[in-house]
């Protein structure tokens, strides 16, 4: 059975960087909805044009839009054979429900990369992405607390949540994540 993993964590928790390393190490397909949206913006597609101003303000793209994109991606052959690591999705309970509708049996693990608000603030200001203005950062952190944090309970209730300390050096955090994933994949 290929692995199905979601990685949660505040923006700036390092989950994007860790997700790339996990995908490489375990051979699963890294699916980042943020990357998919940024690619659509760069290509100037209809989706990109709709998403740009929402992303710049730090708001969330509507569930109906994002759910469709993810559902389509999960049906591709590479995911069906290699498994997936979802990064930046789900971000709302509505998205988690949609995901469990089309991938319930394929989902083995929800990782929460736990980093304090102070630490993620510093990291985001340092990375200097286009949408990393102080206002957008504040808005994204606010939405994380109201929309995304409730997902921790949601996954906990389904018995697949693992919390991993995301503080410290990148390699240390990666070792912690690897240990948790290995435990699951041996089951």
- Strand order of the β-sheet with 84-87 is 29-32, 84-87, 4-8, 109-114, 161-165
In this chain, which of 31, 33, 40, 111 binds ligand AMP, going by CB under 6 A?
33
In this chain, which of 3, 6, 9, 11 binds ligand AMP, going by CB under 6 A?
11
Which residue's CB atom is positioned nearest to ligand AMP?
Answer: 34
The number of beta carbons lying within 10 Å of the beta carbon of residue 88 is 23
Closest distance between ligand AMP and the C-beta of residue 88, in Å?
Answer: 3
- Alpha carbon distance 165, 22 (integer Å): 16
124 binds ligand AMP (CB under 6 A): no
88 binds ligand AMP (CB under 6 A): yes
Q: Which helix (H) or strand (E) holds 28?
A: none
Cα 67 → chain centroid: 13
Q: What is the DSSP letter of 13?
A: S
Cβ-based nearer residue to ligand AMP, 140 or 176: 140
Cβ-based nearer residue to ligand AMP, 108 or 133: 133
Contact positions toward ligand AMP, by CB under 6 A? 11, 33-34, 37, 54-55, 58-61, 66, 88-89, 91, 95, 140
């Amino acid at each position: 059975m290929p692995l199905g993993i979601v990685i949660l964590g505040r923006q700036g928790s390092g989950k994007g960087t860790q997700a790339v390393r996990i995908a490489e190490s375990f051979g699963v397909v890294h699916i980042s909805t943020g990357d998919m949206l940024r690619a659509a913006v760069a290509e100037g597609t209809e989706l990109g044009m709709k998403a740009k101003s929402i992303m710049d303000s730090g708001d969330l793209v509507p569930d109906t839009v994002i759910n469709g994109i993810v559902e389509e991606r999960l049906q591709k052959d590479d995911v069906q054979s290699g498994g997936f690591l979802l990064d930046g999705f789900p971000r709302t309970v509505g998205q988690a429900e949609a995901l469990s509708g089309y991938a319930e049996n394929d989902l083995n693990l929800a990782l929460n990369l736990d980093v304090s608000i102070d630490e993620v603030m510093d990291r985001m200001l340092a990375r200097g992405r286009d949408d990393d203005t102080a206002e957008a950062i504040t808005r994204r952190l606010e939405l994380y607390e109201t929309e995304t944090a409730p997902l921790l309970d949601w996954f906990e209730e389904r018995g697949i949540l693992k919390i991993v300390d995301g503080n410290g050096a990148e390699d240390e955090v990666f070792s912690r994540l690897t240990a948790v994933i290995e435990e699951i994949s041996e089951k």
